[in-house]
Structure 1
């Protein structure tokens, strides 16, 4: 993919290229413009069928726009479309894609839905393994270990992942705070951030201002920043010292399984790197849990 295709607005790119395309390619471009949401999830073969051109014409059209192929074009289109949609739109788009793929299989049974969604999640995780440089992963682990305090922020759809990650970090390395607007004042929570600390940001389109402002403040005080975001040129990526890209698709919860897997791997690596200290901390946590009697330890009633 050319740098121009990667960064330029897809609609503008199509309009500029339209006049130089063949008649068949123009039909494909018209579909991309007029039925943009469908172009996000339909296969190249299905689009070819709808506009009455060959499959190769759809592929060549994407290549003529500067992309390596149709999958790369569709990924770029997904990122732009989903980044500008509200939550309702994302859910609607996810349902359309799921329904479309099930109809192509001619199977909308509960078994097929279960298998389709879970296998897609598994495939997303498998694909992401090859996309993460081991050196970057190792650097992230070292940064998380070296920081005096770690602050984690992730809002809206990223909030559950941020909460889970912060909880895991607290158990294996301690001194980790989850930044939560509405729980006290975020300003008070982040005020103690210093150049010896690290901010870990989860930020995906439509990029919340609060998260970006927190990253700006972290840069101002000299703290290091790791960000997990959806593109290497996102507003969050441009503010970070180290970036992991987890491409959100158009399923109901995007690529959350792949994101969770990455965060889980970071916590696991920290546990291994400082095994003795982490084990001692986990034992302390367990003793406090017992002290507070957090869990029900009574035996279940026996059936008669």
Structure 2
């Protein structure tokens, strides 16, 4: 099992019933995993956008006497070998952080049941709406591009605004039974609202998010977490992208004619000279 700071925090938080405010604190700590053992309650409260008493209640909810006890625990389990990373420049550190995110994703996939279940749910939906706004738009586009080669009706929802609800309604009227969402920070309010609405129409919501404590968690039937890197000015999303491809593979397993569709596409592409060999 990975000994990364984010992985240890995920294990610590799992199994606890947290309030939305507490999930916000947990999400903040995961994103700042390397710094978490050294943050004061005031600093953590400011980073998470909550009150200092909320941080104290969060620590108690995890089974500690208070926040100082939680911080002592995090310092005790922190690896002692931080020196090697200090020799890396900021770009190398960002790459190493992404490698840790991928290691953690690999550990999560040791139990393939959640991804396999999600793949079956998505394969059965006709049409299949795929939602991703702002930072997550490229993830939704990439999934939709490849999914359209094996799924008969994929509908990309990558623009917000007043038309988003209409497009969800249109998918439901056409027979959709599920919606796939890619949700990455900073989380747009309209994505949370769209998922809440999608579930109200009876759609099963499958979400790939940066954390099990992301704001979209409460509005998802199946949530698959994959952490983003936060070491650069803009987040990096290697793990969510790879998880999307894994989910696509699982969906193909639920489509009996997926291979035939791929072969048909390859024949057509060759006849049209679509790609440069």
Range class of TM-score, shorter chain: 0.5 to 0.7
Shift of 1:165: 0.9
Mapped to 1, the partners of 2:38 and 2:150 lie a distance apart of: 54
> Which digits, 9 at most, give the CA deviation of each residue in 1:57-78, with x for residues without a partner?
xxx986613x79327999xxxx
Mapped to 2, the partners of 1:175 and 1:261 lie a distance apart of: 22
Structure 1 unaligned segments of length 5 or more: list them.
Answer: 14-27, 41-59, 75-100, 298-304
TM-score (ref. length: structure 2): 0.65
User: In the alignment, is residue 126 of structure 1 matched against residue 103 of structure 2?
Assistant: yes
Mapped to 2, the partners of 1:213 and 1:170 lie a distance apart of: 26
Task: Tell me which protein shows more helix as a share of its residues.
Answer: 1
> Which digits, 9 at most, give the CA deviation of each residue in 1:50-105, with x for residues without a partner?
xxxxxxxxxx986613x79327999xxxxxxxxxxxxxxxxxxxxxxxxxx8x975
1:32 to 15, 28, 40: 40
**Distance change in 2, residues 1:63/1:172 (3 Å):** farther
> Does structure 2 conserve the Cα–Cα contact (< 8 Å) formed by 1:193 and 1:218?
no
1:269 to 214, 239, 250: 250
Mapped to 1, the partners of 2:17 and 2:259 lie a distance apart of: 50
Determine which structure has greater relative contact order: mean sequence separation of CA pairs < 8 Å that are 6+ residues apart, divided by chain length. Answer: 2
Find the residue that maps to 1:193 and give its secondary structure: helix
Find the residue that maps to 1:192 and give its secondary structure: helix
1:158 to 136, 152, 162: 136
Aligned match of 1:142: 120
> Does structure 1 conserve the Cα–Cα contact (< 8 Å) formed by 2:210 and 2:226?
yes
Aligned match of 2:171: 193
**Distance change in 2, residues 1:266/1:4 (3 Å):** closer
Aligned match of 1:16: none
2:73 to 69, 74, 81: 69
TM-score (ref. length: structure 1): 0.60
Shift of 1:113: 3.8
> Does structure 2 conserve the Cα–Cα contact (< 8 Å) formed by 1:125 and 1:258?
yes
Aligned match of 1:209: 189
Shift of 1:148: 1.7
> Which digits, 9 at most, give the CA deviation of each residue in 1:140-171, with x for residues without a partner?
11101211221111112111111111112111
**Distance change in 2, residues 1:70/1:227 (3 Å):** same
Aligned match of 2:31: none
- How many residue pairs end up in the alignment? 232
Mapped to 2, the partners of 1:171 and 1:281 lie a distance apart of: 7
Highest CA radius of gyration, 1 or 2? Answer: 1
